Amino acid sequence: MTEREQTPAGGVRVWAVGALCRAVADALEARFDPVVVRGEISGFSRASSGHCYFSLKDQNGQLRCAMFRRAAGLLDFTPRDGDQVEVRGRLGLYEPRGDLQLIVESLRRAGQGALFEQFLQRKAKLEAEGLFEAARKRPLTAMPRSIGLVTSLGAAALHDVVTALRRRVPHIPVVLAPAAVQGANAPGDLVRSLEALYALKPQVDVILLVRGGGSIEDLWAFNDEMLARTIVKSPVPLISGVGHETDFTIADFCADVRAPTPTAAAELVAAPRDVWLGALELIEERLRDAILARIDASSQRLDVAAGRLGRPSELVGRQRLRLAHHAQRMHFAVQAKTARLDHAQQVLQTGLPSRLRMALDRHHDLLSRASLRLNLLDPALVLQRGYALITDAQGHAVTSVDRLAAGDEVQAHLADGHADLKVLRTAAKELRATSGV
């Protein structure tokens, strides 16, 4: 007798778990297969094997689905959470867990899901208001003084971000403002945490808003309109790192910078410390090279100047040699001139005819007598006999009292100097005046 056929004394059949699962699977297959189901995709994932797993849901229920690699390879689009689809497949029971699942053989779009339609409507509204304008978005600070971080204390994203920041910028402090990132209270928590960081400006130069991946329902808090408007009011650049690379939320469009993952957001917030240290080392090396080059050039100029100047004693020695050389040349020149004059004198004394010598002697006597008469007319000899030469202010000789008047200043030239005089009166004028009376 098999496990399925065991019957206790009371007449109720007792099933083994595995036997019951197989029986249910057979009944489902016989009753429903094949089946076409319409619903919204949630929790879509693709394994490394190529198999796809997701849930199909509506407002009244949810059904786990598996789509193997062969069927997934026939898809003409990439399924995403929130897509409204129609699937064709076979209902079955996954016996190791006893879970009801639908083995999907084909899948096609059936319209957008309800949440996704709401997302598109909200996105279009905020975009029309200008919340997504690229012109209002600010560049990131190259070296922030501190980093604000908004995420859940229990989220894996917190560990990923903190690990990346410690590795890249351990010198920059991080200010954590915890908030719920999923659920009905999450939008309000996120808004309050952001506003708390806004109040810390200017200590906080940049803010990270992060959360790990999930379904559209898991990330729905980041599509909140109040949160979007709060992000736009941020006084400092804000980076959103919500979900995976393929996930987009309203917060991503409002943020100044969108990162594909929380770790990527941590890598964008600031350049690694090693980069700054490398830049400083490069600047130091260039500065050192420039200083050494300047010193070398100055040293070469000093060497050239020293070579041109030489030692002072050497310069004096060279000047003395030049002076001695010139003195010797002058000595030789004087000797040559003297010799030539002596020779000329000898020639004149011995070689001139007697008549010429007599004529020269006669002219010499005439010249001597003329010189004597000229000396007798020398004013200086006259002055030595007690006479004086009077000149006016212009230096002209005064030869008559008619050229003088009382108060005139004159100068008397004597044999050994001169004296400045002032005319008190003139005798000749007084005599003529008396005779006139």
* Residue 106, domain CATH: 2.40.50.140
325 in a structural domain: yes
Question: Could you list the residue range(s) of the whole structural domain that residue 182 is in?
Answer: 140-271
Q: Quote the pLDDT of residue 249.
A: 92
User: Is the omega angle on the peptide bond into residue 202 within 30 degrees of 0, that is, cis?
Assistant: yes
**82 DSSP assignment:** T
Q: Quote the pLDDT of residue 330.
A: 79
Count of domains forming the chain:
4
Print pLDDT tens along the chain (437 aa). 444 455 555 567 777 777 877 777 777 776 777 888 889 999 999 999 999 999 999 888 889 999 999 999 888 788 988 888 888 888 887 777 777 888 899 888 875 566 777 888 999 999 999 999 999 899 988 788 899 999 999 888 899 999 998 888 888 899 999 999 998 899 999 999 999 999 988 889 999 999 988 877 889 999 999 999 999 999 999 999 998 887 889 999 999 999 999 999 988 887 776 666 677 778 888 888 888 888 888 888 887 777 666 556 566 667 777 877 877 887 787 788 777 777 766 766 665 566 666 777 777 778 777 777 766 666 666 677 777 888 888 878 888 887 888 888 888 888 788 888 888 887 764 444 333 32
Structure tokens at 197: 């960081």
Instruction: Please tell me the distance from the alpha carbon of residue 307 to that of residue 214, in angstroms, as a whole number.
Output: 81
What is the helix (H) or strand (E) element at residue 364, kind and residue range? helix 354-376
The alpha-carbon radius of gyration of the chain (Å, integer) is: 62
Say if residues 136 and 104 touch (Cβ distance below 8 Å).
no
On whether both 249 and 149 belong to a single domain, the answer is: yes
78 in a structural domain: yes
| ∠ CA 243-244-247, rounded to 5° | 75
pTM score, whole prediction: 0.47
**225 DSSP assignment:** H
288 in a structural domain: no
On whether both 80 and 23 belong to a single domain, the answer is: yes
Place of tokens 């010598």: 357
Q: Which of 351, 377, 403 is the last residue of a domain?
A: 377
